[in-house]
Structure 1
């Protein structure tokens, strides 16, 4: 599965606090443009954030669901953006000397996106998730 890692100069708890606030999702996830609703029990398994993907006026309303979670350490999501498809996303936080190593793994699991050859799909996901981790770092490192 294509993956990216980044050292974020913040504690694992500060990084987790950003991930656990569903309203911040479009600030760090490339492609997500706005939040419509966040389930009260986010990020518990089965909870969802309801977001829009794209650029106005061509917005697609969809949701992302938590499929597995270890609070403070890992979060696994099923991100939907139909008609493009769905992706499995796994984020893992590991304490590091300079803060937190964040690893994100993502791949398309259903829909037309699966027709893209894996090397090309992996390259586009690598670019996208490099920027997503950069944005996540900006938020976590500057939050009080």
Structure 2
């Protein structure tokens, strides 16, 4: 709980409207475990951080106003790098997962969506989008894989 408070303080320096969860990656479905098994052996948990996209003109935001979209991605990068450094200073292994532009052909679930789903932050729909109860799909996700013994939402 103390570490979660530290994480929240770091995130809140960057943004106000966010999601935070921790996932035990071993609880992923077998097919997904096979896709990522080498990662999950080394990093059994994930910290999932989501920053809510602005409500006004969100559809236009992604297509036309990449400045705001890029600023949110920079916030996520700043947060995940800071948290990764903090965990590494404590002696834990971490891997900050970079944002990807596109998924291949839809048969691949991104680590960001998987971690957020396993941390009980949203559900992955048939179309591959992660939907949160609060704001739907209007969230950009950042993920840190780690071996730190932090309590996961799905334990």
Which structure exhibits the higher relative contact order, with contacts defined as CA atoms closer than 8 Å and separated by 6 or more residues?
2
Bin of the TM-score, shorter chain as denominator length:
0.3 to 0.5
- TM-score norm. by structure 2 comes to 0.34
Question: More strand per residue: 1 or 2?
Answer: 1
